[in-house]
Copies of this chain bind each other. A is one copy, B any other.
Amino acid sequence: MRRLYDAAVKAADPRRALAGHMPPPWRGRTVVLGAGKAAAAMAQAFESLWQGPLEGLVVTRYGHRVPCERIEVVEASHPVPDAAAERAAERILERARSLGPEDQLVFLASGGGSALLSLPAAGLSLADKQAVTRALLSCGARISEINTVRKHLSRVKGGRLAAAAAPACVLTLAISDVPGDDPAVIASGPAVPDPTSFADARAVLAKYRIEEPKAVLSHLEKAEEETPKPGDPLFLRVRFELVASPRASLEAAALSALSAGILPIVLSDRIEGEAREAARVLAAIALSLKGGGLRVGEEALRPPAVLLSGGETTVTLKGEGRGGRNSEFLLALAEALDGAEGISALACDTDGIDGSEENAGAILYPQSLARAAALGIEAKALLARNDSHRFFAALGDLVVTGPTLTNVNDFRAVLVEN
């Protein structure tokens, strides 16, 4: 299972991911701009792969810097933007405006880019954007909805960066961490067309009953300058390439499973919802697979098989324990499987950080519950107080990788053996 996870992370590694998507040599200036948690790692990879002259500026999350020689790296706050994000966005927009028709802009997009590239529209303050971002993050809105609003409060998102760079050629290279891999959603699509409108943004706020800050609502009401839409001639020289995604990483893991003689079943690249509840569904599927096989068409799929899934679950905190969504998923899975023979699992964040812990995730074995019980550790009680880290730490079954400098969300493998 660890090998499957490594295959998934490797498929999303910026250097490996960019290698197949580098633009051809260029006569004019090549300016690399970018935003996201993987921005610095992508910039470093781009530098090492690019032959010609190069300049640029990317903004990444505090602590996610890696050394670059020709592209400047700055850091800012995530998921709620700060003044550093604003300064970075201003400078990035300036760079885009400096481009001529012979030049090209390469935009490196990755998860977190929406917060890290944040430049309030005229009449809005950073505080307004922070307030509405917090409200959206805490109301259960989906990322596509959040970014619909963000794009209509910004001077850089939703294709406005591409507009600033026109008539230069623009290429977005993106690592996706959003369900569906929509170019207009990843990092709020600064350099691609935006199919959403001011009316859509107002509808999102109405749906979640967000009525503050007033400046945000009145900006959306005024609806003065729409984001550039698909079909706009502006986008004739604009391209988008997905270089890494949850799906591609799951596919890589599936190939690795196949070569080990294990049947891979990729259930979904976008499982969301409460981690412990997703675990119960996955446990049910695994137990059915173990019990009588999983019927597809006229066949019954049988073990050895591995259920692969991606996406980003959430944890609603009820206790004060330690642990991220991946270890919580596994502890709930342990409870639901109740020591079922032949079923083990790995759940890790592909960025190497499960929640705010030092581990990427953990591994669950059929014997884990019994081993924990022998140590006096009661899974049920730990789960009740969101203390999953303690469970796997005590067993020595944490997976620790350090930051991987990429992010295609969570990776889960539930292995069902005979």
Residues of A bordering B, CB below 8 Å:
142, 179-180, 207, 247, 250-251, 254, 258, 263-274, 277-278, 280-282, 284-285, 287-288, 291-292, 294-298, 301, 309, 311, 336, 338, 380
For A288, give its contact among B254, B270, B287, B292 (CB under 8 Å).
B270
Instruction: Using A280-B272, A288-B270 as known contacts, say yes or no to A258 and B298 having CB atoms under 8 A apart.
Output: yes
Please state if A284 and B271 are interface contacts (CB–CB under 8 Å): yes
Please state if A179 and B287 are interface contacts (CB–CB under 8 Å): yes
Please state if A274 and B274 are interface contacts (CB–CB under 8 Å): yes
Distance in angstroms between the alpha carbons of A363 and B338 in the assembled complex: 34
For A281, give its contact among B273, B294, B380 (CB under 8 Å).
B273
> What B residues does A287 contact at CB under 8 A?
179-180, 268, 270
Q: For A207, A265, A282, which residue has the most chain B Cβ atoms within 10 angstroms?
A: A265
Q: A271-B281, A278-B280 are in contact. List 17 more A-B contacts (CB 8 A).
A: A142-B338, A180-B287, A247-B291, A247-B292, A251-B295, A258-B297, A258-B298, A263-B296, A263-B297, A265-B294, A267-B285, A268-B284, A268-B288, A269-B292, A277-B277, A277-B281, A284-B311
Please state if B207 and A380 are interface contacts (CB–CB under 8 Å): yes
A231 → B minimal CB distance (Å):
21
A315 → B minimal CB distance (Å):
13
> What B residues does A280 contact at CB under 8 A?
271-273, 277-278
Please state if A265 and B295 are interface contacts (CB–CB under 8 Å): yes
> What B residues does A380 contact at CB under 8 A?
207
Distance in angstroms between the alpha carbons of A266 and B300 in the assembled complex: 9
Please state if A266 and B281 are interface contacts (CB–CB under 8 Å): no
Interchain residue pairs with CB less than 8 A apart (21): A142-B338, A207-B380, A247-B288, A247-B291, A258-B298, A263-B296, A264-B295, A264-B296, A265-B294, A265-B296, A266-B295, A267-B285, A267-B288, A268-B284, A273-B277, A273-B281, A274-B277, A277-B277, A277-B280, A284-B309, A296-B301
> What B residues does A272 contact at CB under 8 A?
280, 284, 336
Which residue of chain B has the shortest Cβ distance to A145 in the bound complex? Answer: B338
Instruction: Using A180-B291, A251-B295 as known contacts, say yes or no to A284 and B270 having CB atoms under 8 A apart.
Output: yes
Which residue of chain B has the shortest Cβ distance to A180 in the bound complex? Answer: B291
Distance in angstroms between the alpha carbons of A179 and B269 in the assembled complex: 27
A249 → B minimal CB distance (Å):
12
Instruction: Using A272-B284, A284-B311 as known contacts, say yes or no to A297 and B179 having CB atoms under 8 A apart.
Output: no
Distance in angstroms between the alpha carbons of A144 and B34 in the assembled complex: 55
